[in-house]
Every structure is written in C-alpha cells, then in structure tokens.
Structure 1
Amino acid sequence: MQQTALNLIAIGVFLMTMTSLLGGIFQLSPFVPAGITAAVMAFATVDTFNWQGRGMTLFLDLFTPAEQRQRILHHEAGHFLAGYLLSIPITGYSLTPWEAIKQGQTGQGGVSFDLESVEASLKNPQQMNLLLERLSTTLMAGIAAETTIYGKALGGANDRDQLRQLLAKLGISVASYQQREQWALLQAKNLLDRHQDAFQNLVTAMADRAPLEECYRLIKQDSSERST
C-alpha cells in the first residue's frame, strides 16, 4: 500500500477517535465517526488506484513549511546545475506537487531529465563509464546541495534508489553501491563548490520559476566569467 494511502487511513482513524471522544459533548451521532472514516478510506482507495497518490500528496503539500520549501529549492537547483554542466539532458523542473501534476509528472516534483536517451547511450561500452559517472554525480547533487547549505540532507532517498536501480540495470555488483554513491556525492560537492555563484543565481531563478533557457543562460554566464 502506498504511503499516501496509509497517511489518509491514519487521518481517518484520528478523526474517528476525536469525534468519538467529543461525541458526548457535542451530542454527535455514533454514525458520524464511522461515516468520516468510511469517506476517508474511500478517498484513499480512489487516490491510490486512480490518482497514484496525487490527491494526498497535494493535501500534505498545503502544510509544507517555508523552510522545507527552501530545502527543496536548493536540492533541485543542485540537480539542475550538475545535470547542465555534465550534459545530462534536462526536460523541465517543478518545485511543488501541483506544478509536477500540471507537467504530467507524479510525486513531489523535481528536475526532469531525459533518462531514456542517457540509458540508451549507456549501452555503448565506450561511453558507459563516463556517462555513468556523470549521471551518478547528477543524481547525488541534490543531497550535496542540501548538505552544503544546511549541514545535512533530509531528502534524497529517491535519488539513491534511482542510482541503485541504474547500477542494477548495468549489472554492477551490489557490494560497490555504497562506494559509488559516496564517490558521486563527493564529485557533486566539488562541482557545487566550483560553481557557487552559478548555484546561487540558479536558486534565485528557479524560485521565480524562470524558464529553462534563462536558467541555462545564468549558468553559461558564470562559466564565461570564470574563463576570462
């Protein structure tokens, strides 16, 4: 069962408990808590199987604190910067579940990459090692950005899962996963350190929902200034 459905069920149980406790005070019918629970569980079922959990994701996003939104912004800016600099094709970005849904994505949103074309190139033995290094670094760049700004990362579980799935597809030994993750994380941190100005400019641009072309321009501008 998806986590969003479990969250909805937990809310239903909580509401049933509260209405049961307060029912005597407000003279509520015993059918009220049962009705609330049934409605919540029905919504959980529809949300899970028809909407892939998007309804609950949107609901929970209403309560996301400002600090967490800033973390998400910096996390995704890390992915964006690394992806652009390492030539991983970017197709778009979103910073909230609603923005993701409008773009036809699922989940919390984030930077979208053309991973199909990258994975197709990975089948070429001559390109595999270099592309794997670049893609691994890009996937770990969100965690690197959070760690750099906040001291530790709260997000990134999906990034690690993506990397492990990629390594599994390529037939790479499970025993090397952690070492490869740590190497990619170190490379991402070094990349962000070398492009701090571009990163900060990108954070500002993405906060304003700047189009991809403007984000690219800011990164190119920083690269040009560094080369002069």
Structure 2
Amino acid sequence: MQKTALNLLAIGIFLITLSILLGPIIHLPSSVPAIVTLGVLGLATLDTLGLQSKGTTLLLDTVAGLSPTHRQRIAHHEAAHFLTAYYLGIPITQYTLNSWDALKQGLPGIGGVQFDTTSFEQNNLSYPEQQLLLNRFITVWMAGITAEILVYGNVEGGSDDRQKITDALVLFGYGESVSASKQQWGKLQAKTLLEKHWDSYLALVEAMLQGVEVEQCYAILDQGDREVSALS
C-alpha cells in the first residue's frame, strides 16, 4: 500500500477510535463505528488495488490545494522544470498543477510538466548524444527541487524526480550508487539556469498559476530572452 493511502487509513482509524470513545457521551449508535470501519477499509483497499491510489492522491492533493502557499510552491517547482527544459531543448507537451487537471488530461499522479521523450527512444543516437540527453534530463528533473531551495529554503516535493534519475541511470547501465552524485551535479546545473533567467522564471510561475497554454509559456520565455539581448 502506498504511503498516501497508509496516511489516509491511519487518519480514518484515528477517527473511528475517537467515535468509539465518544459514542456513549454523544449518544452515537454503536453500529456507526463498525459501518465507518468497514467503509474506510473497503475504500482504501479499492483505491490501492483498483485505482493505484489515484483516489487517495486526488483527495490529499485537493485538501493541500486549498492552501495558497501550497499552490504557490507547486507552481515554483513545476515552472523550474518547464524553464530548464526550454533552455536545454527538451520539448514540453503540457503541464498541470493539481491532480484533478492531471486526471482530466489522462496523466498519472499529480501531473506536472510533461516532456516529449521520443528523443530517448531513438536508436540511432551515438553514445555521446545519449549521455548529453541523459544529463539534460537530470538537470530538468532536479530543477524543481533546486527552485524550492532557492525560493523557500527547503524541499517538500521531488521524490519522484529523484527516482526518475535513478531509474534512468540504471537504464543507461549505471549503478544506483552514482545517483546521488548525479543529482548533486544536476542541482548545480539547474541553479545556474534558474539564476541566469530569474525574472523570466518568476513571470513563468505567475503564468502557470493562471493556467495559460504551453505556447504562451514559451512566449514569456522568448520575451525574456529578447529583453536580456536588448540590454546586452
């Protein structure tokens, strides 16, 4: 069972226990805790086995999304992925900032920035080209974590990004032991890109919060480049 489902189940069990203890005081029918117990266990099992915990993810993401601070953090995280992918030549197909939008677009988990990965699937790439492509994706995957550190001083998300790096390294024949050093390297590369284009990054964050199309996000970054060139 995934961590999010376990957390939700723990909360449910706590509420059930509380209802049992307070039931006699508030005259709650004795059958209610039993019904609630079966309901919570049944829903948790169905969600984990039948829906791959999508229901739990949607619920927890919706609750977290009620906080403007949480939504801002998500936007900063995803905008960093978007900006670094743009400057490293990785095409972006779409993005979402919450689970509901991801579900509507048929995306897994809570969505995020979706890349065109067909370049990974080309069999005619030389070894140096493969390594260059891998390094670019490592930088992009570490960008969200890096942005959270730059903006907030700590990290709340990014475990999936770290796992993607580990999986990619294994796919390219590396051992998992090199993942930590590659992540650190990617963090430094992402930091350089973000700081170099900081004004464009902040403008992108606001645009993504408004839900603008990918093409409009590209236009914002293009405009930032033109303004920098004009000042040079």
Q: TM-score, normalised by structure 1?
A: 0.94
Kept in 1, the 8 Å contact 2:62–2:99? The answer is no
Render the CA deviation track for 1:94-152: whole Å, top value 9, x for unaligned: 0011011111012122111123x132248531411211111110000101111111112
In structure 2, the residue matched to 1:149 is 151
User: Which AA in structure 2 matches 1:210?
Assistant: V
Identical amino acids, percent of aligned pairs: 45
User: Which AA in structure 2 matches 1:150?
Assistant: Y
1:37-116 residue pairs with structure 2 within 5 A? Answer: 37-64=37-64, 65-115=67-117
User: Which AA in structure 2 matches 1:98?
Assistant: W
SS at match of 1:63: helix
SS at match of 2:163: helix
User: Which AA in structure 2 matches 1:70?
Assistant: Q
- What is the rounded CA distance, in whole Å, between the counterparts of 2:180 and 2:168 in structure 1? 13
Number of aligned residue pairs: give it: 227
1:125-140 residue pairs with structure 2 within 5 A? Answer: 125-140=127-142
- What is the rounded CA distance, in whole Å, between the counterparts of 1:126 and 1:188 in structure 2? 21
- What is the rounded CA distance, in whole Å, between the counterparts of 1:52 and 1:174 in structure 2? 26
- What is the rounded CA distance, in whole Å, between the counterparts of 2:177 and 2:61 in structure 1? 37
In structure 1, the residue matched to 2:9 is 9
Kept in 2, the 8 Å contact 1:8–1:40? The answer is no
User: Which AA in structure 2 matches 1:111?
Assistant: V
Q: Cα offset for 1:29?
A: 2.5
Kept in 2, the 8 Å contact 1:121–1:128? The answer is no
Note the aligned Cα RMSD (angstroms): 1.5
SS at match of 1:12: helix
Unaligned runs of 5+ in 1: none
- What is the rounded CA distance, in whole Å, between the counterparts of 2:90 and 2:122 in structure 1? 11
1:187 and 2:213 aligned: no
In structure 2, the residue matched to 1:163 is 165
In structure 2, the residue matched to 1:118 is 119
Runs of 4+ with deviation above 4 angstroms: none
User: Which AA in structure 2 matches 1:143?
Assistant: I
User: Which AA in structure 1 matches 2:49?
Assistant: F
Unaligned runs of 5+ in 2: none
